[in-house]
C-alpha cells in the first residue's frame, strides 16, 4: 500500500510540475500524507483572472432586414434546363406546367425568403404560395412551378418575407389541352 501511495505521490508531482511549473512542487511534497496526492492539486489551481473594467461596447448597427430585396427579373417558361428557361411564354394550355424563374437582387446580403403566389382569374390566391429561400448573396436565381387548370388570366406574384409585393406578371391559360413541344430535346 505504501508503495502505491509513493507512486501516486510521484505521479502527482510530475503532473504538477508539467502543469504549474517547478515552484508548485514544494506544495505537493508538503501535502498531508493522509490525503491522496491528487487532492493537493485543487489547492494549486490558479485563481480566476478578473478583468479590469472595460469601456462599454459601441452600439450595434441595426441588422439588415431584407427591405432592399427586389426582383430584377421574372420569366415564365414551359421548362427549365440548367437553371435557364428553355421556352419562355406568356400563354399556356390548361394542365401545362408553368415555371416562374425569379432573379433576386439582395444588396444587404441577408438570408431571407420570398413567396411566389399564383393568383386565379377570380382574384383569389391559389394556396399559400411557395416559400423560397434567398441566401445571403448579392444576387440569386430561384424558381417555382405550378400547373393551372382553370382558363383565364392568371398572375404570378413575388413577395418579400414581410409580405410586400416586389414583382408580378400576368399570363394566360387556355381551355384547350395541348401538347407542349419542347425546344432543344
Dist. CA 81–CA 87, nearest whole Å: 10
pTM tops 0.85, yes or no: no
Give the pLDDT confidence score for residue 71 in this predicted structure: 84
DSSP state of 176: S
Give the pLDDT confidence score for residue 47 in this predicted structure: 60
Give the pLDDT confidence score for residue 29 in this predicted structure: 46
Residues of the chain with CATH 2.60.40.1930: 70-174
- Residues 136-152 have pLDDT tens digits of 999 999 999 999 999 99
Give the pLDDT confidence score for residue 4 in this predicted structure: 52
Q: Report which of 184, 183, 185, 153 is spatially closest to residue 168, judged by C-alpha positions.
A: 153
- In sequence order, which residues have a C-beta less than 8 Å from that of residue 177 and are 6 or more positions away? 93, 94, 95, 96
> Bigger pLDDT: 100 or 180?
100
CATH classification of 70-174 is 2.60.40.1930, yes or no? Answer: yes
3-state secondary structure of 155: strand
> Bigger pLDDT: 52 or 72?
72
Among the ranges given (26-40, 99-113, 115-129), the one the predictor scored with the smallest mean pLDDT: 26-40
Give the pLDDT confidence score for residue 145 in this predicted structure: 93
Radius of gyration of the chain (CA): 35
Average pLDDT rounded to a whole number, residues 109-134:
92
Cβ atoms of 69 and 108 within 8 Å: the answer is: yes
3-state secondary structure of 2: helix
Give the pLDDT confidence score for residue 70 in this predicted structure: 84
- Residues 167-183 have pLDDT tens digits of 999 999 998 765 443 44
Rounded to the nearest integer, the mean pLDDT of the chain is 76
Average pLDDT rounded to a whole number, residues 65-77:
84
Average pLDDT rounded to a whole number, residues 142-169:
93
Amino acid at each position: 500500500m505504501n508503495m502505491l501511495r509513493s507512486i501516486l505521490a510521484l505521479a502527482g508531482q510530475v503532473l504538477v510540475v508539467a502543469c504549474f511549473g517547478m515552484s508548485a512542487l514544494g506544495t505537493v511534497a508538503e501535502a498531508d500524507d493522509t490525503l491522496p496526492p491528487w487532492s493537493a492539486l485543487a489547492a494549486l489551481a490558479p485563481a480566476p483572472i478578473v478583468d479590469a473594467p472595460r469601456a462599454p461596447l459601441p452600439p450595434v448597427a441595426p441588422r439588415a432586414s431584407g427591405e432592399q430585396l427586389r426582383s430584377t427579373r421574372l420569366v415564365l417558361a414551359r421548362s427549365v434546363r440548367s437553371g435557364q428557361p428553355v421556352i419562355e411564354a406568356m400563354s399556356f394550355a390548361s394542365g401545362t406546367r408553368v415555371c416562374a424563374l425569379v432573379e433576386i437582387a439582395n444588396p444587404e446580403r441577408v438570408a431571407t425568403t420570398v413567396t411566389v403566389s399564383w393568383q386565379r382569374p377570380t382574384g383569389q390566391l391559389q394556396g399559400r404560395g411557395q416559400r423560397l429561400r434567398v441566401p445571403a448573396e448579392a444576387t440569386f436565381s430561384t424558381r417555382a412551378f405550378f400547373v393551372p387548370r382553370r382558363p383565364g388570366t392568371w398572375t404570378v406574384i413575388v413577395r418579400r418575407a414581410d409580405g410586400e409585393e416586389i414583382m408580378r406578371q400576368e399570363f394566360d391559360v387556355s381551355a384547350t389541352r395541348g401538347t407542349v413541344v419542347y425546344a432543344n430535346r
